[in-house]
Structure formats: structure tokens, C-alpha cells
A = this chain, B = another copy of it.
């Protein structure tokens, strides 16, 4: 999984994937993130890049660094759930606004979604960009 969108900074894409993992429960509050070096190797990316993603995460209050011990996801339960709501709302608005800019009505927007979800493999097409 080292194919990044070249039009978006990689550190932002890494940061995002971590937030997704937290919100979806793959990473739990209090858990330790992979070390910068481990993660960099996995992603075939320079450690500086992972480092920057972790910094952003900390700035957002989602992780915290413990000297010599690594980076941990914050325990703050409500923060996680509000994060989920915020990210979902962001995705939703991007979808709705984008469709409306293309001239789709509310009915169209709902119909397109239903149609796509009804597809046999509706759950796993393409890649997230």
C-alpha cells in the first residue's frame, strides 16, 4: 500500500489513514503507534515524512508522545467519537457539494448512491485517493 496520490502531501495521507484506523476501531485509545522507523519502512517512505504525520496527529490532540516510549493514541473517548462525526461530515459535504456543483439534485444524489451500493461489489471498488 505505497501508492499515494501525488497531488496531496504524503504526510497528510498518512495522517488521514491513522485517523481512519482509530475511528474504525483498528487502533484503540491508549494503544501505541508503530515507531516512525517501522512505519516508514512499511510504507517505503522517508522517516521524516512519517514523523511529520505524527506531529500533525499530536497537534490535533489525537496522539501524544511519551519520551523514549513512543507515540500513543490519546485515551479521551469522546474525542474519538467526535473525530468520527467530523470526518464523516467532511466526506458527506464534499460529496453533496461536489454533486451539486455538477448540477445534480438531491434526488439524483441519493439515487446515485443507492445505485452504487446496490452493485455486487459495491463495497470495495477502486482505491481511496
Contact = CB atoms under 8 A, between A and B. Distances in A.
A126 B99 CA distance: 14
Counting every copy of the chain, the complex holds 4
A93 B94 CA distance: 12
Interface string A1-28: 0000011111010000100100111000
Contact of A114 (B25, B59, B104, B110): B110
Contacts of A109: 113, 117
Interface string A114-129: 1011000011111111
Interface stretch (A30-38, A71-79, A84-92): A84-92
A89 B125 CA distance: 11
Nearest to A24: B103
Given A8-B8, A46-B68, A68-B46, A102 B87 contact: yes
Contact of A110 (B89, B99, B117): B117
